Amino acid sequence: MMRPKKTKEPKVKLTKDSWRKAARFLRYLKPYAGTYFIGWIFLVLSTSAGLVFPYLMGKLLGSSTASSNPEQAVRLLDLSNVNQIALALFALFFFQSVFSFVRVVLFNNVTENALRDMRNDAFENLVYMPMDFFNRQKVGELTSRVASDIAQIQEVLRTTIAEFFRQIIIVFGGIAFLFFISWKLSLIMLATVPVMAIIAVFFGRYIRKLSKEAQDYIATSNSVLEEALTGIANVKAFTNEWFLLSKYKKSTQQTRDLNVRSGIWRGLFVSFIIFCLFGAIVFIVWKGLLMTQGPHPELASEGFYQFVLFTIMMGASIGSLPDLYASVQKAVGATENLLDLLQEEGEQLPKPNAIGHQLSGALRFEQLVFSYPQRPDVTVLKGIDFQLEPNQTLALVGQSGSGKSTIANLILQFYKPTAGTIYFGDQDAAALDLHDLRKQMAIVPQEVLLFSGSILENIRFGRPEASDTEVIDAAKKANAWEFISSFPAELQTEVGDRGIQLSGGQKQRIAIARAILKNPAILILDEATSALDTTSERLVQEALEELMRGRTSIVIAHRLSTIRQADQILVLNDGVVVERGTHQDLMAKNGQYATYVAQQNMQE
């Protein structure tokens, strides 16, 4: 039988290690321990006040019952006693409401403060993770941990834990009161109501499980329907109406069978509630009433009412405990995942005792070998050597997968070499502060990512402390000010999600303005003109030339016409430098580079 893909969450299985990891979350509560402790005091006070309610309510109801003594039968009500009990109940409600208000506010404040700190730590840890971490992780899962997992923890900290312990206090406090009222009736109650309540909980869970499975089958049948109608032309062209109809009928039959089974269990559940659970309550009430009868009753009327009210309160508390505990388990599982993320080792920016170093622009690779950590068996770079003097331009040429982008990533220190050494000037890159290095480098990628916000914010991303005048000057040098000034809001123009409201050429020039504003010693260009129209390409190329002036540049070349003036060109093939020299030198060799140039000239 075809089974649909399950959409339900996997069952949370926790170990001692899971609880131990979750306990690390306490460090986020530690700064607010005093407030949290006061909140727990008010939780105990409000719960204790709740336990007094059945006691007073029983006395109120018992006071209106005729005495079994014929001499006192004429006095049906003791009005002064009733008034006093009613006033006591209103006073109880007042204090309980105050205690509950203070508890909710304190727990909420502590929860929000702790989760704010956790969110900040999680994001800080994420942005400082090495690039290999993001190659191993899915962005959707990471954002889910920061958003969904924290939201689940939020609900548990704010209400569930408090409610869980509140119900436990009610259960044990209720049992103590019940034994105080009548130990005999208490034993009868404990042998029936809690057992019935727990059975009812598991009954309900099984029915919910069947309902979820039915929803899965419904989703399958709906997907068959949607696919058939969306691709109706193909269905008719292949005369496969019967095939899809049989799939749909099979799915709807499975849905029907499961819902029928679910209906049987729902009927059994209703029958169980009516006969067993209500029967148990009637049995206890019956036994309690018998104990109030006779010339020497074992239980007073008010005691009987108190017993019934305490039993109802306890039954509700016992019934809610499994679901509350399940919520706590889910939160512990979410905390475990989140704290694992927080324990991941980042890039440690800035590095303690690192050497501060002003880059001159000189760069050297010595016998550099590299394999990506997730693919250690595949060597991407194989003994790369080159030396670049300050203000020179190095162009990297080669087919896709030859290692060009990997060299750029290594210059930016996104990864560490497997073997060999990278030098900035005469300093080994491993000895330099990573944050200090990257502050003196900039990259203009082929696919520019603009952040949601204004043009001003995106350009200023290159140097957040820059003034508006400096931003405008950078925009002018990047040939971007003309189109920026044409917008009504100018620099305050919103670029939209990932810069969707701007054209490719406009986004490229904003990226160039961002790099100009940063004023880096070393510039990396993943040539950005290949996907642009002629006019945009000319403007972007002019801006790139302005950006490259007076600084060391590494150009990953797609259009070879843009690197004719490069001081050095490396032709890469399968991670090896197969040719090197200037444009004129390589053309004279009539080798692989000359072949690339001829092929591009033919295509143009």
157-212 confidence digits (pLDDT tens): 777 777 778 778 877 877 777 777 777 777 877 777 667 767 776 776 677 677 66
pLDDT tops 50 at residue 71: no
270 in any annotated domain: yes
Please, which residues have CB within 8 angstroms of residue 152's CB and are 6 or more apart in sequence? 330, 331, 334
Interval 140-168 mean pLDDT = 73
Domain that holds residue 591: 363-603
Per-residue exposure over 392-421, b if at least 16 CB sit within 10 Å of its own CB, e if not: bbbbbbbeeebbbbbbbbbbbbbbebeebe
pLDDT tops 50 at residue 7: no
Sign, CA torsion 271/277/283/285: negative
Cα 337 to Cα 117, 160, 360: the distances in Å are 17, 20, 44
369 and 257 in a common domain: no
Per residue in 18-57, pLDDT (tens digit) is: 566 666 677 778 888 888 889 888 888 888 887 777 777 7
Say which residue, 331 or 264, is predicted with more confidence. Answer: 264
Residue 455 and residue 493: Cα distance in Å, rounded?
Answer: 6
Strands 568-573 and 576-581, sheet pairing = antiparallel
**For residue 16, what pLDDT is reported?**
62
Strands 381-388 and 522-526, sheet pairing = unpaired
213 and 130 in a common domain: no
85 and 198 in a common domain: no
3 in any annotated domain: no
Per residue in 514-548, pLDDT (tens digit) is: 888 888 888 888 875 655 556 666 777 777 777 77
Interval 356-367 mean pLDDT = 81
Sheet holding 522-526, edge to edge: 441-444, 522-526, 552-556, 393-398, 568-573, 576-581
7 in any annotated domain: no
Q: Where are the alpha helices (DSSP H) in 273-350?
A: 278-292, 301-343
pLDDT tops 70 at residue 68: no
Say which residue, 282 or 481, is predicted with more confidence. Answer: 481
Report angle CA 437, 438, 444 to the nearest 5 degrees. Answer: 140
Q: pLDDT-based confidence at 356, cuts 50/70/90? A: low
**For residue 21, what pLDDT is reported?**
63
Catalytic residue, chosen from 302, 527, 537, 579, is: 527
Say which residue, 511 or 543, is predicted with more confidence. Answer: 511
**For residue 3, what pLDDT is reported?**
41
Per residue in 337-351, pLDDT (tens digit) is: 677 676 666 666 555
258 and 403 in a common domain: no
189 and 67 in a common domain: no
What is the Cβ-side half-sphere exposure of residue 371, based on CA atoms within 13 angstroms?
Answer: 9
Residue 73 and residue 70: Cα distance in Å, rounded?
Answer: 5
Q: Give the DSSP letter of residue 351.
A: P
3 state SS of 133: helix
pLDDT tops 50 at residue 2: no
- Most confident of the following: 313-317, 501-505, 553-557: 553-557
Supply 140's token pair. Answer: 């959707």
Say which residue, 138 or 6, is predicted with more confidence. Answer: 138
pLDDT tops 60 at residue 8: no
Q: pLDDT-based confidence at 440, cuts 50/70/90? A: confident
Per residue in 100-116, pLDDT (tens digit) is: 888 888 888 888 888 88
Supply 199's token pair. Answer: 């059975």
Give yes or no for a contact between 308 and 55, defined as CB atoms under 8 angstroms apart: no
410 in any annotated domain: yes
131 and 164 in a common domain: yes
509 and 370 in a common domain: yes
Determine the angle formed by the axes of helices 193-230 and 241-272, rounding to 10 degrees.
Answer: 170
312 in any annotated domain: no
1 in any annotated domain: no
449 and 328 in a common domain: no
80 and 143 in a common domain: yes
pTM of the model: 0.62
pLDDT tops 70 at residue 575: yes
| 527: annotated active-site residue | yes
Tell me the residue type at 19: W
Per residue in 583-598, pLDDT (tens digit) is: 888 888 888 888 877 7
CATH number for the domain harbouring residue 52:
1.20.1560.10
Separation of CA 482 from chain center? 41
Q: Where are the alpha helices (DSSP H) in 366-503?
A: 404-411, 434-439, 455-460, 468-477, 481-486
Residue 101 and residue 95: Cα distance in Å, rounded?
Answer: 10
Residue 509 and residue 514: Cα distance in Å, rounded?
Answer: 8
251 in any annotated domain: yes
210 and 130 in a common domain: no
Interval 302-318 mean pLDDT = 72
Cα 294 to Cα 298, 300, 302, 380, 435: the distances in Å are 9, 11, 16, 95, 88
5 in any annotated domain: no
Q: pLDDT-based confidence at 294, cuts 50/70/90? A: low
Query: In whole numbers, what is the pLDDT of the chain averaged over residues?
Result: 76
For the chain, the first-to-last Cα distance in angstroms comes to 58
Share of the chain above pLDDT 70, in %: 76
45 and 21 in a common domain: yes
Supply 1's token pair. Answer: 């039988």
Number of domains in the chain: 3
Tell me the residue type at 596: Y
pLDDT tops 60 at residue 451: yes
Q: pLDDT-based confidence at 63, cuts 50/70/90? A: low
Residue ending a domain, among 298, 328, 355, is 298
Give yes or no for a contact between 42 and 99, defined as CB atoms under 8 angstroms apart: yes
Separation of CA 216 from chain center? 25
384 and 342 in a common domain: no
Separation of CA 139 from chain center? 9
Interval 122-133 mean pLDDT = 76
Sign, CA torsion 346/351/356/362: negative
pLDDT tops 50 at residue 373: yes
